[in-house]
Chain A
Amino acid sequence: MKKKMYINGIGSISAQLFDPRAVNYELILPDTNRLHVVEPDYKEMMPPMLLRRMSKVVKSGIAAAKNALKDAGIEKPDIITTGTAYGCLADTENFLQKMITQEETLLTPTAFIQSTHNTVSGQIALLLNCHGHNFTYVQRGHSFESSLQESMLWLTENDQLNILSGGIDEITQHSFEIISRFGTYKKEQEHYATPSAGCMAGEGANLFVLNTHKTDRTYAELADLKMCYRDEAADSLDQFLAQNNLTAEEIDTCLVGSNGDVRYDETILKNIQILSNARLIDFKKWSGEFPTSGAFAMALAANLILHKHAPKPLIMHEKTNDYEPRNVLIYNHYKNQYHSFILLRSL
């Protein structure tokens, strides 16, 4: 029999002042093409000596980890597995720039040391003195989902584990400039609702404590996950629902990864058009687009299930929010290549 798995704690550092546990929160609709995370006061979370040397992605990752553990009421996880497409960009750029401008002389190691993709997972382990299994996945738009998939395998093997899993990515001035040159982002004066090619750049650190046991901290059941690469996402959705014994009508809420890019949004929405009863929530309106944005969607979805309520401003189109979210699907995509489905269910 398939084991049940639960989300028991969440730490979310996003472009919004959003506490996943809170009943009330206000999501601000940005009027820019570039969304940075709202950074918390890190001083209470980590030693000042360390803080000075850490880049944003490391700090926000550690903060999200600490928040998730605190939220779940545990001190340290047994296993850490995270995803990041870009890794530690700021440190990478820092070392690269100095290496080039100083012509490979007089370099110092700090930025190099912290540029490694598993820096965040490693630093979390170091701070928590956590000797457990520690993995970092870097598969573009499937980075977070790969870590989630691994977590689910672990929980199937062993029902005594607390797993810290999630996604972390940052944007920097340089990454923004470079990715903009590929035509990925909207223009400066544009925003989500501007009907144009491109999306809003985003970043975030969203981590979860997962376990096979329900506690008084449990948000929702993590029922299933499916990734598909360039496949027909719509066909995959049929299969995904079938393997979860659900009909399309039973999905009451779908957090959809449409991102305001006119080149993709129509296709993306079409892929889920069979979900006739679902309230659609286009979460990237609030988080911006980044390869691990699915983790932000999962934090938001868990919040809706916990409070049995979807705030009206979240819902696309003219559908009522007078219902209780029970079967919540996250359908995300990255560049219409990396597609994923995550199913959360109410308890």
Chain B
Amino acid sequence: MNDKVWICGLGAISSIGMNVHENFDSLLNGKCGDQYPVHLKTRHQETLRVCEINKTNDELSTIAEMKTQLPRAVYFSAIAVNEALQQFKMQLPEGAYDTLKVGFLSGNTIGGMDLSEQFYADFISDPSAGRLHDVVHHECGAITELVAKKFQFNDYVSTLSTACSSSANAIIQGSRLLKHHKADVIVAGGTDALCRFTLNGFNTLMILDSEPCKPFDDNRKGLNLGEGAGYVVLVSDHIKNKYNLTPVAEVSGYANANDAFHQTASSAEGKGNFMAMQQALDMSGLHTADISYINAHGTGTANNDSSEGMAIGRLFQQQAPLVGSTKANTGHTLGACGGIEAVYCCLALTNNVAYPSLRITTPMKELAFSINQQLITDRQINHVMSNSFGFGGNCTSLIFSKSKLPS
């Protein structure tokens, strides 16, 4: 149970890139995916901005090499999983992959809701109406099932749905399974697509910014919803050594804690956030001073950024590292954000960069530390913390470390 867990493959798709390379390039160039929805048909077409992936479902199905008319989240998932797996397989000798026991843990929050919405519109006026094909993949688990079938993942296939921490929690559970030697490899992360259900849901909570969001700004108005998927290929110590793999990073710490304060709001002091970060640090054996960069949850809502900021300030005291949020680039991708941001964190480690937090004009006054607004390239980034916090008080913190620390 003290075995290390390694990351040997990355895959990401978001509004700022169709693959890992494009995402990284966009982060370096401060690009954001924000626009009025094109593919999502909603009453809020010209009032609410989203970070949408600029492809139709049919285009996505072609890229994913899957049949048409599946939920959008399936395509994102398959595209990112494929990219991550390719990177991993490249490092293996011929035929080795087929001998491995590969599991799949995916987070998502809305399943096939984008299609269920269409079904339901017909169904509520006539219980015998609505295309059953549009509702057959409604369940969150159905998204995972479709992708598992495509890639022939047979062992340890499951879905986590803990709101916005879903995919970060999938990485936790994947790591735990490897530490217990239940599998050789676990592909872990998550996926979510934009739909009217979540757009309207977040709108009723009055936490959507009608302009491009500005996490950690004093005048932040809320979040922008996004969509996408992000996965990492988690590899056991045994397999890493057996095939002499060169990992992208190590999963050095993780923890999930509950704020137990309110169904949707965070406690003012960020109790759950603090506990998750502290316990993840404890597990990694690192000190606060060792963390080079925090990829914050940083949604842009008044409540999240304040609670998270308080918790980071309290934990890191005078030694806060570079802190920023990439949600100003990608929007809040809900069940996918932990996976996407895990990929971003690994790229920060391998390239020694920390991404700029965009659009801050008046930094939050109550923070005990400053938010990084520059692209940082002048120092070693050795350990990165990634936070994901969700409804139900669900708080997750992950720590990724360089696979080989500079001596």
Contacts and interface: CB of A to CB of B under 8 A. Distances in A.
Interface of A: 80, 85-87, 92-93, 95-97, 99-101, 103-105, 107-109, 112-119, 121-123, 125-126, 128-140, 142-143, 146, 150, 153, 156-157, 174, 177-178, 181-182, 229, 231
Given A107-B203, A113-B205, A135-B169, A126 B43 contact: no
A96 B128 contact: no
Given A112-B204, A131-B258, A150-B173, A122 B391 contact: yes
B120 A134 contact: no
Contact of A156 (B161, B180, B201, B275): B180
Given A122-B393, A229-B154, 15 more contacts: A80-B258, A93-B120, A96-B117, A97-B120, A100-B120, A101-B124, A103-B43, A118-B392, A122-B392, A126-B263, A136-B162, A174-B123, A178-B123, A178-B135, A181-B128
A99 to B, nearest CB: 5
Contact of A138 (B1, B120, B159, B390): B159
Main secondary structure of the interface of B (DSSP, over half): mixed
Contacts of B141: 85, 138-140, 142-143
Contacts of A104: 42-44, 196, 200
Contacts of B390: 116, 118
B262 interface: yes
A181 B145 CA distance: 21
Contacts, number: 174
A156 B203 CA distance: 43
A246 B145 CA distance: 32
B169 A100 contact: no
Interface in B259-309: 259-264, 271-272, 275
A109 B264 CA distance: 10
In the complex, which of the residues A93, A174, A178 has the most CB atoms of chain B within 10 Å of its own CB atom?
A: A178
Contacts of B264: 109, 113
Contacts of B142: 140
Interface of B: 1, 42-44, 109, 116-117, 120-121, 123-124, 127-128, 132, 135-136, 139-142, 144-145, 148, 154, 157-163, 169, 173, 176-177, 180, 182, 196-197, 200-201, 203-205, 255-264, 271-272, 275, 390-394
29 contacts: A87-B140, A87-B161, A99-B197, A104-B196, A108-B204, A113-B391, A117-B109, A117-B162, A118-B394, A121-B392, A122-B393, A122-B394, A125-B258, A125-B393, A126-B260, A126-B263, A126-B393, A131-B260, A133-B257, A136-B161, A137-B159, A137-B160, A138-B159, A138-B160, A139-B141, A139-B144, A146-B158, A178-B123, A182-B136
A181 B197 contact: no
In the complex, which of the residues B42, B141, B176 has the most CB atoms of chain A within 10 Å of its own CB atom?
A: B141
Contacts of A133: 255-258
A130 B256 CA distance: 12
Given A86-B139, A99-B196, A122-B393, A130 B258 contact: yes
